[in-house]
Amino acid sequence: MQRIFLHFSVLLAFSTGLSAFWMGDNSTGQSRVAPKPVIEAKELKLPPGFTARVLGTDLGPTRHIAVGKNGDIYVKLSKLREGKGMYLLRDTNKDGVIDDTKLFADYPGTGILIRDGYLYSSSNSAVYRYKLNEKEEIIDFEKPERIVEGLVDHGRDNAKPLAMDKQNNLYVTVGSYNDNCREAGSGKGMSPCAILDSAGGIWKFSANKAGQKFSDGIRYATGVKNAVGIDWDTKTDALYATVHGRGKFDDFYPQYYTPKHSAELPAETLYKLKEGDDAGWPYIYYDQFQNRKMLAPEYGGDGKKTGGEKAINPVAAFPAHFGPNALLFYTGNMFPARYKNGAFIAFHNMAPELKKGYLVAFVPFVNGKAGKWEIFADNFAGTDLVKPTGPIQHRPCGLAQGPDGALYVTDDLNGTVFRIDYKKK
């Protein structure tokens, strides 16, 4: 019997002052939670009318999340817990508090989605699916069907996020394991970048065909360094991806770039992708101050030369090193109309140039065009990022929309799951 005590940070207000706990059973993988009141996340900064609460915490490194039509919550873990890599969380009595949990899946990973009677889930090298019944409950937890195998996993940027279109095509990110595609031990870039044949892009597979190898996939888009957030937008009928930018410039190129440049460049980006698109990595990067595609120094750039004439432009750019880890196009009816068909993005790092981070942003879309991004949910950090008085409390990582239109947010630092609701006053 194991007790997993709930972690209450300065971010969380627990109205009764009592500590609740999770009762684990390693033999079955199931847990029951003692009765407890709703935990409100009062310190989150949200627009008027929005409230947040904590559904569970101390769950481990929670990554992406999916919510079924029956309210079942599935949460991926990047590291195994009790030998398992995914949670099923349930509110059995519908009081707004998770009171039943189950750990399953013998692999860690990030990607997850529910579509057409299946729960799709990825490890760092494969994609699986679990058959669901009419209530969207998993029929067999022990024997998932393997859809894709043989995806590159070199331990770095190896998450395999998932998206699916209306034709049951499955899109899988394969992130780059070499930050700038540099030759080992030097600042020189590989020319051409040899890893683009199996990484640094998004691949397309059939969602309904078992036993596919990596070679069965189609490279849908290339030059995409590491798209941890991907989603298919049904309004514009297109694939979108949030992409992590490259790392340091000044380590090998101090004649062109200062440490300040490395802190402030390049932009994190949001792309609209169609088949055959090239986002330009590693040959170029996007400079959000000049609003231009710049030639990377590994390939002859000096901070002034533009490049990537054939590479697509992002539809939105964000501060450097923000860490966009999830993308969700909102289709629900709970939130005000301005949020309908717009994109939420979970950022799990801090932007040095702004001293802001650990937040959920929103990008409005009007007539299929991205507008100016804004902060939607802030203060997950639980401390002043300009003058910190304590450690970071939460790092937003995953996003999901509930059947009633609520927004779910995971935290991969302290394993917390938040639910954000809206109610007109």
Cβ atoms of residues 124 and 172 within 8 Å? no
Examine residue 128 and state whether it is found in any structural domain, yes or no.
Answer: no
Condensed to tens digits (0 to 9), the pLDDT of residues 150-173 reads: 999 999 999 999 999 999 999 999
Expressed as residue numbers, the domain containing 192 is: 43-107+154-422
Diameter over CA atoms, the chain: 63
- Rounded CA gap, 293 and 261, in Å? 15
- How is residue 322 written in tokens? 């923000």
CA-based nearest residue to 222, from 185, 275, 171, 184: 275
Output the six-digit token pair for 135: 């209530």
Judged on CB neighbours under 10 Å (0-12, 13-18, 19+), 266 is: buried
Residue 394: CATH number of its domain: 2.120.10.30
Tens digits of residue pLDDT in 103-132: 999 999 999 999 999 999 999 999 999 999
Per-residue pLDDT of the chain (425 residues; tens, 9 = 90+): 233 333 333 333 333 332 333 333 333 445 444 445 677 898 999 999 999 999 999 999 999 999 999 999 999 999 999 999 999 999 888 887 898 999 999 999 999 999 999 999 999 999 999 999 999 999 999 999 999 999 999 999 999 999 999 999 999 999 999 999 999 888 899 999 999 999 999 999 999 999 999 999 999 999 999 999 999 999 999 999 999 999 999 999 999 999 999 999 999 999 999 999 999 999 999 999 999 999 999 999 999 999 999 999 999 999 999 999 999 999 999 999 999 999 999 999 999 888 999 999 999 999 999 999 999 999 999 999 999 999 999 999 999 999 999 999 999 999 999 999 999 87
Does 256 reside within a domain? yes
For residue 199, the Cα-to-chain-centroid distance in whole angstroms is: 18
175 within some domain: yes
> Is residue 244 in some structural domain?
yes
Residue 19 within any structural domain of the chain: no
Task: Give the whole-angstrom CA distance, residue 44 versus residue 396.
Answer: 12
- ∠ CA 383-394-411 to the nearest 5 degrees? 165
Q: Is residue 272 part of a domain?
A: yes
Total domains, the chain: 1
The number of residues in the chain equals 425
pLDDT value, residue 36: 56
Instruction: Kindly report, residue by residue over 339-398, the tens digit of the pLDDT.
Output: 999 999 999 999 988 899 999 999 999 999 999 999 999 999 999 999 999 999 999 999
- Domain contains 27: no
CB distance 26 to 361 below 8 Å: no
Contact 129, 119 (CB under 8 A): yes
**For residues 376 and 47, what is the distance between their CA atoms, to the nearest angstrom?**
7
Whether 21 is covered by a domain: the verdict is no
pTM greater than the 0.95 cutoff: no
